[in-house]
């Protein structure tokens, strides 16, 4: 089977209408500058030079809310990425966005640039939990967006979180079941970490939020992983990975204040 390579392009906080209480994309991606089409070209070329074997290659726009950024900017970034698809150097484009930023016009635009996969930040299917962490959308938005994405022929991805404020194991299992009904092809599971500069950090410092321990996060992620496996839904990520520019809590340069951070989170969650 062909190897798969992802060329990540971080689009931090562009297009976000508000700050979700747990999120500080600039800290997670380690990047505060606006991305341009030229940046996209340079990043992709650098990655392509480093790939030594034949592989299925995807350009992935992560972070922020891609379809919420000004249309001109979306087109500038997509155009730059699409050039590589047209030249046959890259196989596909994927991106992540908010469920309330999907409509027919958006999907038409993404089709034009041959985007293959759209990942939605679901986080929870419990509207109280969503409201509490200031997501600014409901699970109904996730349902609508998921159906439209699949109907228009894109691969659907869902991203969910464990350990959100007031979320319980039952809420998280229910979120997995509710997501599965919408038939995503892939899922990412993120245990909540307390990141510097977030509202969650303030709450943590006031003892209003207690993060999961690594053991608790591993236990629930294992359960969710097995659930999705049984449903034939691929879990492509659990926890932040080493390439996300955060480092171990406690170290001087770390952006993580607290929470279930583990360098090998995915591996230990699948044991």
Scanning 15-23, 87-95, 170-178, 229-237 for contacts with ligand SF4 by CB under 6 A, the matching segment is 15-23
- Looking at residue 226, the DSSP 8-state letter turns out to be H
The smaller minimum CB distance to ligand SF4, of residues 16 and 78, is found at 16
The smaller minimum CB distance to ligand SF4, of residues 121 and 184, is found at 121
CA 97, 19, 9, 260 torsion: positive or negative?
Answer: negative
Helix, coil or strand: residue 223: helix
The smaller minimum CB distance to ligand SF4, of residues 123 and 269, is found at 123
Query: Of 64, 163, 165, 259, which one interacts with ligand SF4 (CB under 6 A)?
Result: 64
Q: Does 145 bind ligand SF4 (CB under 6 A)?
A: no
How buried is 137 (Cβ within 10 angstroms: 0-12 exposed, 13-18 middle, 19+ buried)?
buried
Q: Does 20 bind ligand SF4 (CB under 6 A)?
A: yes
The smaller minimum CB distance to ligand SF4, of residues 19 and 216, is found at 19
Smallest distance, ligand SF4 to C-beta of residue 119, A:
11
Smallest distance, ligand SF4 to C-beta of residue 63, A:
6
Per-position x/- string for 111-130, each x denoting binding to ligand SF4 as judged by CB under 6 A, each - no binding: ----------x---------
Strands 194-195 and 115-123: unpaired
Instruction: Say if residues 191 and 162 touch (Cβ distance below 8 Å).
Output: yes
Per-position x/- string for 79-108, each x denoting binding to ligand SF4 as judged by CB under 6 A, each - no binding: -------------------x----------
The smaller minimum CB distance to ligand SF4, of residues 35 and 57, is found at 35
The Cα–Cα gap between 222 and 89 comes to 36
E strands of 192-233, at which residues? 194-195
Query: Of 65, 117, 124, 125, which one interacts with ligand SF4 (CB under 6 A)?
Result: 65
Rounded (5°) CA angle 7-10-12 = 170
Cα–Cα distance list, 255 to 18, 29, 187, 210 (Å): 20, 10, 25, 17
Q: Does 159 bind ligand SF4 (CB under 6 A)?
A: no
Query: Of 23, 81, 195, 200, which one interacts with ligand SF4 (CB under 6 A)?
Result: 23
The Cα–Cα gap between 179 and 185 comes to 10
Helix, coil or strand: residue 48: helix
Judged by the rule CB under 6 A, the positions of this chain that interact with ligand SF4 are: 16, 19-20, 23, 25, 63-65, 98, 121
């Amino acid at each position: 089977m062909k190897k798969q390579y992802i060329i990540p392009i971080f689009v931090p906080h562009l297009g976000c209408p508000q700050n979700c209480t747990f999120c500080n994309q600039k800290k997670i991606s380690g990047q505060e500058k606006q991305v341009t089409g030229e940046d996209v070209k340079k990043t992709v070329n650098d990655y392509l030079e480093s790939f030594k074997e034949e592989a299925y290659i995807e350009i992935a726009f992560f972070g922020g809310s891609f379809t919420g950024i000004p249309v001109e900017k979306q087109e500038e970034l997509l155009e730059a990425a699409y050039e590589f698809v047209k030249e046959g150097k890259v196989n596909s484009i994927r991106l992540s966005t908010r469920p309330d930023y999907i409509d027919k016009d958006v999907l038409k635009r993404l089709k034009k640039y041959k985007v293959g996969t759209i990942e939605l930040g679901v986080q929870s299917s419990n509207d109280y939990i969503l409201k509490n962490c200031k997501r600014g959308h409901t699970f109904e938005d996730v349902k609508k967006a998921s159906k439209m994405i699949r109907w228009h022929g894109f691969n659907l991805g869902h991203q969910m979180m464990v350990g959100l404020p007031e979320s319980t194991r039952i809420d998280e299992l229910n979120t997995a079941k509710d997501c599965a009904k919408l038939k995503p092809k892939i899922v990412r599971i993120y245990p909540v970490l307390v990141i510097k500069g977030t509202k969650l950090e303030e709450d943590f410092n006031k003892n209003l939020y207690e993060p999961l321990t690594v053991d608790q996060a591993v236990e629930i992620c294992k359960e969710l992983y097995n659930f999705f496996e049984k449903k034939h839904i691929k879990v492509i990520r659990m926890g932040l990975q080493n390439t996300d520019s955060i480092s171990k809590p406690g170290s001087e340069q770390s952006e993580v204040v607290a929470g279930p951070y583990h360098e090998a989170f995915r591996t230990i969650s699948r044991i």
